[in-house]
Amino acid sequence: MSPGPSDFRSDTVTLPTPAMMAAMVEAEVGDDVLGDDPTVNALEARLAQMFGKEAGLFVPSGTMANQAAVAAHVFPGEEVIVETNSHIFRYEGGGLARVAGAHVRTLVGDGGQLPLDELNRAVRHPSVQEPRTALLCLEQTHLFSGGAILPLPYLEQVFDFSREKDVLVHVDGARLFNAVAETGVELPVYGNLCDSLMISLSKGLSCPVGSVLMGDGAFIERARRARKWLGGGMRQVGYLAACGLVALDETVPEIGEDNARCRRLGSVTLGLEGIRLAQETVDTNILFLEVTAREWDAPMMVSALEDKGVLALAMGDRLLRFVTHRHIQDGDVDRAVAALQSILEG
């Protein structure tokens, strides 16, 4: 169990490992805007090779990676299709309109999956009076569905559909490695089923900063320009990229443990009166619980949990979110369960 509070608020609270700290001190760096930071170049090349893509681009955040990707793929006024509760639409400050000038069309999904029949109806026929459908965005894993995994057969269907319709596909793969830990799908398979994708280094991988966007060379050069618009061109950023190289060897192999602890937390809370599972399955490392007890709401529960050394997030009046990560151990799960039980039975 953690010596301080058991922090389930997000996997973004993770701290770098000792090996990452050492790698930062020893990193060989240059000026990344000028293209001569060898550590950044090594990280971009390694990840691109792992996913079967031509090139990569290190950016400060997943939001910037997503927004740069859309800006690189579409002309202002073209349409982007997204899932209603996707991170790129709901939690990125309206960047699709502000940064890319995109016309956005939302579809209600099931576990992050856009229904193929609705996708077929949503893609517009060529007309000077309507925006051109240029891009589909998917999220793997799907945050708001409790870290739901988009199955491989579904991704194959969507990609085949996109080729038929001459539409590009971008994958927000912020937690893609959590999906890989469960599915065992090889990284190039995921890479070959989209035109671009990004992965986050600062969530389950435990790096302090950064995400990497991947695609073909021409796309990455356009995204590099969008990164510049957004102020994401950094200088001796190899100190941060060094953590990413360590993570690929050190923390990626451990992500399955995060998923397993989240499933354990979900299964144990099934027996508690006053809360219920607010998602169909616990696929990876995100758990949503609905507060059903009349005398409690989610913000009240968060405050009571904090008094017992457990940190969680309220996602509205009735929804609690718990996220497991490298700093959450079995004892932290036990503490969270005991705290919930004490609050609800007290």
pLDDT at 309: 97
Beta bridge partners of 79: 103, 133
Q: Which of 182, 183, 210 is nearest to 198 (CA)?
A: 210
The contacts of residue 315 (CB under 8 Å, 6+ apart) are 288, 298, 321
Instruction: Kindly report, residue by residue over 253-287, the tens digit of the pLDDT.
Output: 999 999 999 999 999 888 899 999 999 899 999 99
pLDDT of residue 121: 95
Q: Is the sign of the CA dihedral 70, 76, 80, 82 positive or negative?
A: positive
CA distance 280 to 261: 17
For the chain, the distance separating the N- and C-terminal CA atoms, rounded to the nearest angstrom, is 24
Which tens digit of pLDDT belongs to each residue from 166-215? Answer: 999 999 999 999 999 999 999 999 999 999 999 999 999 999 999 999 99
Which tokens sit at 95? 């960047």
For residue 183, is the peptide bond before it cis, meaning its omega torsion is within 30 degrees of 0? no
Cα separations in angstroms, 97 against 60, 67, 88, 296: 20, 10, 11, 38
Question: How far is CA 73 from each of CA 49, 53, 161, 220, rounded to the nearest angstrom?
Answer: 21, 16, 18, 10
Going by pLDDT thresholds of 50, 70 and 90, the confidence category of residue 345 is: confident
pLDDT at residue 3 in the model: 78
Over residues 142-154, the pLDDT tens digits come to 999 999 999 999 9
Structure tokens that stand for 136 in this block: 């589909």
Q: What is the mean pLDDT of the chain?
A: 96
2 has a pLDDT exceeding 80: no
137 contacts 271 by C-beta, under 8 angstroms: no
Q: Which residues pair with 199 in a beta bridge?
A: 173, 212
Query: Residue 224 — very low, low, confident or very high, per pLDDT cuts 50/70/90?
Result: very high
Q: b/e map of 48-65 (b: 16 or more CB within 10 Å)?
A: bbbbebebbbbbbbbbbb
Q: What is the 3-state secondary structure (H, E, C) of the chain?
A: CCCCCEECCCHHHCCCCHHHHHHHHHCCCCCHHHCCCHHHHHHHHHHHHHHCCCEEEEECCHHHHHHHHHHHHCCCCCEEEEECCCHHHHCCCCHHHHCCCCEEEEECCECCECCHHHHHHHCCCCCCCCCCEEEEEEECCEHHHCCECCCHHHHHHHHHHHHHHCCEEEEEECCHHHHHHHHCCCHHHHHCCCCEEEEECCCCCCCCCCEEEEECHHHHHHHHHHHHHCCCCCCCCHHHHHHHHHHHHHCHHHHHHHHHHHHHHHHHHCCCCCEEECCCCCCCCEEEEEECCCCCCHHHHHHHHHHCCEECEECCCCEEEEECCCCCCHHHHHHHHHHHHHHHHC
Tokens matching residue 114 = 């856009």
Domains and CATH numbers, the chain: 6-12+254-345 (3.90.1150.10), 18-250 (3.40.640.10)
What's the angle, vertex CA 207, arms to CA 5 and CA 209, rounded to 5?
A: 105
Q: What is the pTM of this model?
A: 0.95
What does the pLDDT average to over 97-124?
A: 95
pLDDT at 346 over 90: no
The pLDDT value recorded for residue 197 is: 98
At residue 87, the pLDDT reads 96
Q: What is the pLDDT of residue 271?
A: 85
Residue pLDDT, tens place only, 50-96: 999 999 999 999 999 999 999 999 999 999 999 999 999 999 999 99
> Residue 40: is it exposed, middle or buried by C-beta count within 10 angstroms (0-12/13-18/19+)?
buried
> Which tens digits make up the pLDDT trace of 282-321?
999 999 999 999 999 999 999 999 999 999 999 999 999 9
Mean pLDDT of 152-160: 98
